């Protein structure tokens, strides 16, 4: 017999005992829970309790008022200065970087499909962005 064999056997026995004490109770609890679920069966139905029936009429009214207030608070989107119209529906120009978000809002508020929206930086003018917007046909509302 090798000299480490009894030590290995002792370690294996200790690991088995630790497993029985640490994992065994959890397995028994799981088995008991599974048996309880099996006894209840699907015919018992869902657990009794309050069910959500949807928003109340007052909640719907408050939500509509909040949406109307948000729409009223939004400023009308105007075309940023520096953007000129080359052809109908085609715009090009240099816009300050601080006005690029306004450009996005204006393009979304036009009510037309947005086909191209390019924003590029310029090495010769770092304060401005070279922009191109191409709008498509009117979207049905």
Q: Is the pTM of this model over 0.75?
A: no
Q: Report the relative pairing of strands 128-138 and 90-96 from DSSP bridges.
A: antiparallel
pLDDT < 50 positions in the chain: none
Q: What does the pLDDT read at residue 43?
A: 61
Q: What does the pLDDT read at residue 4?
A: 83
Q: What does the pLDDT read at residue 60?
A: 92
CA-only gyration radius of the chain, Å: 35
Q: What does the pLDDT read at residue 73?
A: 61
Q: What does the pLDDT read at residue 50?
A: 74
Q: What does the pLDDT read at residue 5?
A: 86
d(CA 101, CA 122): 18
């Amino acid at each position: 017999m090798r000299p480490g064999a009894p030590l290995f056997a002792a370690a294996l026995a200790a690991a088995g005992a630790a497993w029985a004490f640490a994992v065994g109770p959890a397995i028994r609890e799981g088995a008991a829970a599974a048996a309880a679920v099996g006894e209840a069966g699907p015919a018992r139905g869902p657990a009794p309790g309050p069910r959500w029936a949807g928003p109340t009429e007052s909640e719907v009214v408050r939500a509509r008022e909040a949406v109307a207030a948000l729409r009223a608070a939004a400023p009308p989107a105007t075309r940023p200065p520096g953007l000129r119209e080359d052809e109908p529906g085609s715009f090009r120009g240099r816009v300050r970087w601080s006005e690029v978000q306004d450009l996005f809002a204006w393009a979304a508020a036009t009510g037309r499909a947005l086909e191209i929206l390019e924003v590029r930086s310029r090495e010769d003018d770092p304060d401005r962005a070279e922009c191109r917007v191409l709008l498509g046909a009117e979207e049905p509302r």
